[in-house]
Amino acid sequence: MKAIEVTGRIDSQGNLVLDEPIQGNTYPHQVRVIVLVPEQAETEEVDPDDTPVEEIKASLRRALQQAKTGQRLPLSQMWEGIDAE
């Protein structure tokens, strides 16, 4: 048996909705699903440095578009004003 880890949510009708489609050639018509639901204490411990995936994707798309259109800064200019310790 092959394991595939994905994230998702359960909608108001009780259906499992995946965040991303599962990529692959072929899978059997029936699969086994184990749903892991975080405990209350786990959901309260949010890492402030944990940027949401959608926000990261949007930032990467903007950066790629800027690079394609020539909107770039020289590396030396990027470090201006940063105090390294």
Q: Which of 66 and 27 is assigned the larger pLDDT?
A: 66
Structure token digits, residue 78 = 């990027």
Tokens of 83: 């105090």
- How far is the C-alpha of 74 from the C-alpha of 30, rounded, in Å? 53
pLDDT band at 13 (very low <50, low <70, confident <90, very high): very high
Rg, C-alpha atoms of the chain: 20
For the entire predicted model, the pTM comes to 0.41
